[in-house]
Amino acid sequence: MAESLSDAAQHLSNSNEVTQAISLGFHAEMDALDDESLSIRNARKKLRLRIKQAGINLRGFDRARNDLERSGTDREAEDLEYRRQMAWNAKPVGFQPTMDLGDAVDEGLRALNVHELHRIDTDGFEAGRAGHKRGVNPWSLGTEAYQRWDTAWVRGQAAIASTLNGSGGNGAKRRGRPRKDATANDDDQPAA
């Protein structure tokens, strides 16, 4: 025979000696901790805003706080790998190969830059043609790479515009009836 709900509740409370008062007490304690946690989260947000307003980069600040507990060997190994990866992607940290080096730049590095500038140009054009926002430029403002990407993005936007106005790419759309094709009428003209 099935047990009634009140019998089941009575049985459970008797089996582990938990009363309604104990359970409600736990709920009250949990509510107090949730309130305290919300208060701490809000205070943390306010502090982070003050840090940002002071001109400190929050990601760098957070990284420094996390790295305080790590060993120097681990930090140096990670930093070395980070710098190597950035250099391989033509975004070296703390070094710009074309800056005030003139003839001191070896030909291998110069060839890499030509290749990278071509890739940057292509990436910018494709981003513009795909309709991405201009602000997604991944390069630092004021650098040659930034300017090249931005110029290519404008060309990509122009490519979109040329397809929208129906010009097929020549940029100018004529009004009125289409002109007769002069080459099509050459056979119809009597010989002079």
Cβ atoms within 10 Å, residue 125: 20
pLDDT by residue (tens digit) across 124-134? 999 999 999 98
The pTM of this model reads 0.42
Q: How far apart are CA 137 and CA 153, in angstroms?
A: 9
CB 165 within 8 A of CB 137: no
Residue type, 109: L
Instruction: Give me the pLDDT at residue 28, please.
Output: 95
CA distances from 144 to 94, 115, 149, 155, 173 (A): 16, 14, 9, 17, 35
pLDDT, residue 124, reads 92
pLDDT for the residue numbered 107: 47
Provide the residue-wise pLDDT of the chain in tens; the chain has 192 residues: 566 666 656 655 555 788 989 999 999 999 999 999 999 999 999 999 999 999 999 999 999 999 888 888 888 899 889 888 988 887 787 755 554 445 544 444 444 577 788 888 899 999 999 999 988 888 878 778 888 899 999 999 998 888 887 655 454 555 667 677 655 555 555 554
The secondary structure of the chain in percent helix, strand, coil, rounded to multiples of 5, reads 65, 0, 35
Three-state DSSP state, 20: helix
Q: What is the pLDDT of residues 79-121, one digit of tens each?
A: 889 888 988 887 787 755 554 445 544 444 444 577 788 888 8
Q: Angle at which helices 144-164 and 107-129 pack, to 10 degrees? A: 30
pLDDT of residue 48: 95
